[in-house]
Amino acid sequence: MNNNKVARVAAGLGESIPALETLVLTNNSVVNLADLDALAEFKKLEMLSLLQNPVQQKKHYRLYLIHKIPSLRVLDFRKVRQREREAAASLFGGEDGGDLEQAIQKNKTAIDADALTPALRKKIQERIKSVKTMAEMSELEHALKTGKLTKELKKQLEQ
């Protein structure tokens, strides 16, 4: 799945591919840590690559994934060390860790596809008629095709 425009991992995928051990999502568009939470569903996932994704620059990136995916042995082609597991458990354990995890959850990029109501679809179609940039056009077309909106776009459309 490398070199695509993958922005998040959908919930429920772990049930469809329960034996997945290796996942290479190099050079994609994953921005937020919370968009990777569904990877925890892959109970056998041992090797994961997210190289060249914006999410790599997020604070606690490596420790968060080690915390969420206990089976992980290699992340971004670097072995997961015991001291990293301990640091992840310390950082995300207890009350403070729960608060940190909740803060990360607030940054999910997209909302569920079923949230794209017929009324929102119509608003998107109307807005396409008045776009001024290619970036706006791409964002709106993507929303129509995938049924997913960024939080910012949903807020703009609901005004």
Mean pLDDT computed over 112-121: 65
Please tell me the pTM assigned to this model. 0.66
62 Rama class: left (phi>0) / alpha (psi -120 to 50) / beta = alpha
The 10 Å Cβ neighbour count of residue 87 is 16
Mean pLDDT computed over 135-155: 78
pLDDT over threshold 70, residue 110: no
- Contacts of residue 84, Cβ cutoff 8 Å, sequence gap at least 6: 62, 63, 66
Q: Percentage of the chain surpassing pLDDT 90?
A: 44
